[in-house]
Amino acid sequence: MIRKLRRAMRGAYRRTVDLSHPARSPLGSTVVNCVVYEGGVRQPCDGDAREALRQVRKNGSGFVWIGLHQPTEIQLAVFAELFGLHPLAVEDAVQAHQRPKVQRYGRDGQGGTLFAILKTCRYVAHEQLTTESEVVDTGELMVFAGADFVITVRHGPHGSLGPLREALEASPEQLAKGPAAVLHAIADQVVDDYLAVADAVQHDVDAVESAVFSEDARSADAGQIYLLKRELLELKRAVAPLERPMRSLATAPLPPVGPDMQPYFRDVVDHLARVNEQISGYDTLLDSILQAHLAQVTVAQNEDMRKITAWAAIIAVPTMVCGMYGMNFDHMPELRWTYGYPLVLGVMATACVVIHRAFRRNGWL
């Protein structure tokens, strides 16, 4: 696979004529943006990645930020050849569906390349929670950060970095810190989205809890609880693996992230810890809600069985008497007496009333 990818890199790079004209290159519409920043200020650029990189390295300052959306292997191979990206990282960026992580490749004079995989999350609004509802929708965001470049690869319909880019451009002193500042801003936005999703999921958890402990407890559905647990697991898979690599960026220098950026990543770690605590709390609460719901179902079934048993006992009295008088014997008590029939009815009614009152007194009816 790696050998095939390297051949694709060389072939795609030779075929690429001008990255500023996607219609005449194999890139298509995968390039979202290609911008040069110097001193935190956006510089004029015609969108040609090779020229932008040449300009940055000639001046010895600034960096290039290229945004890609769902590139193919051939399309990403162009940038892999141009920026010297590691084939393993490129393979992960193309295939997507990867576990969140942060890895460093290479130890050249420029400090190598930092490759980060982040899971983007979005809360799916819904009028009513059902067993078929989708609560958490995830995508992926890969970041290649070098000494003088940032390449972002986005998979999925959400997680756009346009507003983030505008916010960074409005803060040139932060953007002047280089690719590490971009990596921090992306991680911070992703984690803030986790917080927003976790807060939104809390409303669904509260709704399920209210349904379980309402007067009409049978209106609650165990399938809804299982659905929320499954969606929380989806969110947990995005959040939990990210805490350790973010902590490593916050505690140990890992170029291009220097000591001046570590406090910012510590803030991201704090937010991640908060989200993890929320998810763990929701999961524990849902376990308790599920157990309470199953206990209520069991109690309700026992209550129904007691009522059925009580009515069966009441009906057994007239059934027994009628069964006796249904036997074809000539000599039976009061068989030919004028008041025999109403007497038997009275005895049956009295017995049923007495049994009914006894069950009512004991709480069975």
Q: Give the domain ranges of the chain.
A: 298-361
- What is the pairing mode between strands 63-69 and 31-38? antiparallel
Residue range 93-110: mean pLDDT, rounded? 80
Q: Say if residue 24's pLDDT is above 60.
A: no
**pLDDT for the residue 18:** 42
Q: Say if residue 21's pLDDT is above 50.
A: no
| pLDDT tens, residue by residue, 203-217 | 999 988 888 887 765
Quote the CA–CA distance of 209 and 74 in Å, as a whole number.
50
Q: Which of 109-113, 153-157, 245-249 has the lowest mean pLDDT?
A: 109-113
Residue range 277-302: mean pLDDT, rounded? 88
Nearest CA to 201 out of 267, 270, 285, 117 is that of 285
User: Which pTM value belongs to this model?
Assistant: 0.77
**pLDDT for the residue 216:** 67
Q: Which of 78-92, 100-114, 181-195, 238-252 has the lowest mean pLDDT?
A: 100-114
**pLDDT for the residue 178:** 92
**pLDDT for the residue 160:** 85
Structure token pair of residue 16? 């690429």
By percentage, how much of the chain surpasses pLDDT 90? 44
Contact 264, 184 (CB under 8 A): yes
Helices (H) and strands (E) in the chain, counts: 10, 7
| pLDDT tens, residue by residue, 25-80 | 444 457 888 999 999 999 888 778 888 899 899 888 899 999 999 998 888 998 99
By percentage, how much of the chain surpasses pLDDT 70? 87
| pLDDT tens, residue by residue, 318-361 | 888 787 777 776 666 666 777 777 877 888 888 888 888 888 88
Residue range 158-164: mean pLDDT, rounded? 85
Confidence of residue 287 (pLDDT cuts 50, 70, 90): very high
Q: Say if residue 81's pLDDT is above 60.
A: yes
**pLDDT for the residue 325:** 72
**pLDDT for the residue 265:** 94
CATH superfamily, with its number, for domain 298-361: Magnesium transport protein CorA, transmembrane region (1.20.58.340)
Quote the CA–CA distance of 18 and 24 in Å, as a whole number.
8
Structure token pair of residue 66? 């290229």
Q: Say if residue 294's pLDDT is above 90.
A: no
Sheet holding 101-105, edge to edge: 41-43, 31-38, 63-69, 149-155, 136-145, 113-123, 101-105
Residue range 135-151: mean pLDDT, rounded? 93
Amino acid at 217: A
**pLDDT for the residue 100:** 93
Q: Say if residue 276's pLDDT is above 90.
A: yes
